[in-house]
Amino acid sequence: MAIVANPEPAELRRLPSLVFVQSLWAGVERLVSELEDQPFAIVRMTDPQLAETMAEAVLTFVLYLHRDGPAYRAQQIRHVWSERPYRPARERRIGVLGLGNLGALAATRLVANGFPVEGWSRTPKAVAGVSCHSGEDGLDRVLSRSDIVVVLLPLTSGTRALLDARRLARLPSGAALINFARGPIVDTEALVAALDDGHLGHAVLDVFAREPLPADDPLWDHPGVTILPHVSAPTTPETATRLVAENLHRFFATGMIPEAVDRDRGY
């Protein structure tokens, strides 16, 4: 077996006896796409601490947007002292795209903090306190109702450029977007256009098609964008290594391979 974080997939081709690859990341789209002809299993990181860390980040930046953090930052730059109207959490609807381990817990934390939450997934899911939807019609329904939409989907052939110009236009005027999943899920050109024309109010971006984000990328200086350096849910070494050790111990003792990625789905 191989324990990896973000390897060059070609390096794994040099290990002909591989039975399974244990990733330290939740996202494994590059391994899946570039090693589709390889017989070994690919195992994602499913550490419960990862979900806790992501839920914390989602709540943090939903509150940042909810309490007008970008607007107050802009006022500070202009030396403006002005109070903005307060809006209760119960009046701010949050859409969560992706209801797997990460999305379900994040949605639950938002509900616990008083936000009405609409969730969307590829297949039907049930999350306590969350209005859940699936399918194409369900996605349009969630987008059209969301004041803030949080992207927590895996990157697959079906989610690449999922949020294009047409779907971004479904969001209410002034809505905000948080992408804590993968950069290519959001059409960056369409996102910038929606920010520039005022349809969207702000975007918090933690992930990009190219990372690190090049220093000359115009997103750095866009007034409607908050940039994070892929930090929403870092792997926690103490808990992740314990989980990996358990997987290895079980494999050596019984030959059991941990639950692997479905290569057809991509996650």
- Taken in order 163, 188, 204, 100, is the CA torsion positive or negative? positive
Residue 224: count of CB within 10 angstroms of its CB: 18
Burial of residue 91 (number of CB atoms within 10 Å: 0-12, 13-18, 19+): exposed
- Of 267, 265, 207, the C-alpha closest to 46 is 267
**Is 84 known to be catalytic?**
no
Distance between alpha carbon 225 and the CA centroid of its chain, in Å? Answer: 16
Q: Which one from 167, 230, 249, 263 is the annotated catalytic residue?
A: 230
The CA-based dihedral angle spanning residues 88, 90, 93, 98, taken in that order and rounded to the nearest 10 degrees: 120
**Is 145 known to be catalytic?**
no
If you compute the radius of gyration of the chain from its CA atoms, what whole number of angstroms results?
20
Sheet of 20-23: strand order equals 2-4, 20-23, 41-43
Q: Which one from 93, 133, 145, 182 is the annotated catalytic residue?
A: 182
Catalytic site positions: 182, 230
